[in-house]
Structure 1
Amino acid sequence: MRTPGFWSGPRGLLATLLAPLGALYAAATARRLRRPGLRLPVPVICVGNINAGGTGKTPTVIALAERLTAAGHRPHVVSRGHGGRLTGPVQVEFTLHSAAEVGDEPLLIAAFAPTWVARDRAAGARAAVSAGADVILLDDGFQNPALEKDLSIVVVDAVAGFGNGLCIPAGPLREPVATGLARADLVLAIGGARACDTLVSAWPELDGTPMVTGRIQPRPTGMPWQGQRVVAFAGIGHPEKFFATLRGLGVELVATHGFPDHAPYTAAALTRLEREAREAGAMLVTTDKDAVRLPESFRGKAMPLPVMLVFRSPEQIDDALNNLFPNGQ
């Protein structure tokens, strides 16, 4: 979906008029969260957010999976599979499944760790444990009560913050900031160092919740981006962040095209993009998340730019992870 412009502050007339509906939305979320969840025999790490839309959850899940694997653990990821038609539980196979079946994010994550799609998160987690998982990474399950969580990480874009501070449809929030942070064990702020500092001063609700910071950066691929003419397209929560990343690499952006998050690409849209790049003598570039949604016949025509999350103080996140395994298991 496209994020409405009025969701980012200050609060205008439309947001004020919709605020009562936002309060009802928040109340419904609170009622849902009162249901007891399943306690698993392995730790459950929840990576979620308070905002709707892209905050950097997918790179966070991948980064945590890599750190856990490097430490000798067997992390499995459980996701709802937004945008996919399979209800699961099903283990995602990159070479077997498509984004239309399992969703683009699980398909991308499956390249880094065993990943399960399940509308019933508890059923998906049980399947993962049966398959050998010694820790579960719950992708985007902060407002889902199906599982008891051992570590809940709230991811927030340091620049966007919590928008106008109101709940859907008046603002971008799934629940009030203070309510969500009361359940969080850790906040991960993603953005520049100055933006992270500004986030804390702008949202006093963050006081008292441990925070780590990180940044999204391109994965090294050996591609010489400097001076490359590029037509860029992205169907993610905030396409402009992807375009800014390309500018930071020194590319010459001939044109940029933003699409709704998770939206499938039509043949007509892809034909237009291909023609525009060809006529401009430019390379067609997209995100790695978009690349898995492209038809197989088109994937060689658009260069994906893979990204990764880098923690500024990795020892903080490692301490949080190690505390889940007190006996060094």
Structure 2
Amino acid sequence: MKTPIFWNQKQSIISLLLIPFSYIWLLASFLNKKKPKKFDIPVIKIGNVVAGGAGKTPTVISLTKKLINSKINTHIILKGYKSSASKSIQVKKDLHTYKEVGDEALLCAACATTWVGKNRSESINNAINNGADLVILDDGLQDESILSNLNIIVFNGYQ
């Protein structure tokens, strides 16, 4: 997925007139910001800073395999892009379809215990209750409600 053309265009008069409102929005969001939740196990967030396929999920899978080979019980947490799951569920590749949990979750479930749900904190708690030593959040960098021990940014060299 390429970045939209308008991201690189010169600013219009309207966008300049809206700048004061952006500062009001920034102040309001700063005042409304909650303290991120800390968990009893390490949390790794993997994400990117550009729109589209930078390779987050393959990075998550590769890192997870290395951690599991090091005898670290690693669980993967996803929101489940286009999934119908509202509550946190453990993905079973033989039971769930891509419509229920998303295609990336099925890929991840092939190598590690994987949780999908709109509420990442709930998924992390489920992982902890099921013996996780560490969790990896796929596309987790935009979620400021969870404190992480390590952030990994994935870049696509073509964008």
Which interval holds the TM-score relative to the shorter structure? Answer: 0.7 to 0.9
Taking a change above 3 Å as real, the CA distance of residues 80 and 151 of structure 1, as seen in their structure-2 partners, is same
For normalisation by structure 1, the TM-score amounts to 0.43
Q: Which runs of 5+ in 2 are unaligned?
A: none
Match of 2:50 in 1: 51
Indicate the residue corresponding to 1:182 in structure 2: none
User: SS where residue 123 of structure 1 aligns?
Assistant: helix
- Tell me the SS of whatever aligns to 2:121: helix
Within the alignment, does 1:128 sit opposite 2:122 as a pair?
Answer: no
C-alpha separation in 1, matches of 2:135 and 2:82: 22
Look up the match of 2:94.
95
8 Å CA contact 1:43, 1:150 repeated in 2: yes
The aligned length equals 153
- Secondary structure of the residue aligned to 2:155 is strand
Name the SS for the 1:116 alignment partner. Answer: strand
Identity over aligned residues, as a percent?
33
Change (3 A) 1:31 1:55: farther
Alpha-carbon distance in structure 2 between the residues aligned to 1:32 and 1:81? 29
Distance (whole Å) between structure 1 residues aligned to residue 79 and residue 97 of structure 2 = 15
The 1:82/1:12 distance shift into structure 2, 3 A limit, reads same
Matched with 2:34 is: 35
Preserved CA contact (<8 Å) 1:33 1:145: no
**Corresponding residue of 1:62:** 61
| Alpha-carbon distance in structure 1 between the residues aligned to 2:156 and 2:3 | 16
Q: Which amino acid aligns with 1:12?
A: Q
Query: For 1:165-244, what aligned pairs fall within 5 Å after superposition?
Result: none
Taking the aligned partners of 2:45 and 2:68, their CA distance within structure 1 comes to 17
The equivalent residue for 2:154 is 155
The structure-2 alpha-carbon separation of the partners of 1:83 and 1:31, relative to structure 1 and needing over 3 Å to count, comes to farther
- Given the superposition, is the C-alpha separation of residues 5 and 36 from structure 1 closer, same or farther in structure 2, using an over 3 Å criterion? closer
Q: How far did residue 5 of structure 1 move?
A: 4.6
Q: What are structure 1's unaligned runs of at least 5 residues?
A: 161-329
Contact 2:75 2:113 in 1 (8 A): yes
Aligned to 1:187: none
How many Å apart are 1:50 and its aligned residue? 1.9
- Counterpart AA for 2:122: A
1:133-164 deviation per Cα after TM superposition (whole angstroms, max 9, x unaligned): 0000011111112321000111111221xxxx
Q: Deviations over 1:46-96 (max 9, x none)?
A: 001222221110001001101101111010001111110111210001111
**Corresponding residue number in structure 1 for 2:9:** 12
CA distance in 2, matches of 1:115, 1:80: 11
Partner SS for 2:81 = coil
Measured on the aligned residues, the alpha-carbon RMSD in Å equals 2.6
Letter in 2 for 1:120: N
Alpha-carbon distance in 2 for matches of 1:111, 1:7:
39
1:33·1:144 contact (CA, 8 Å) conserved in 2? Answer: no
Cα distance in 2 for partners of 1:42, 1:151 equals 12
**1:44, 1:138 within 8 Å by CA — same for their partners in 2?**
yes
Contact 1:42 1:134 in 2 (8 A): yes
Aligned to 1:76: 75
Between Structure 1 and Structure 2, whose CA radius of gyration is higher? 1
Q: What's the CA shift for 1:7?
A: 5.6
What do residues 234-278 of structure 1 show as CA deviations (whole Å, max 9, x unaligned)?
xxxxxxxxxxxxxxxxxxxxxxxxxxxxxxxxxxxxxxxxxxxxx
Give the structure with the higher percent strand. Answer: 1
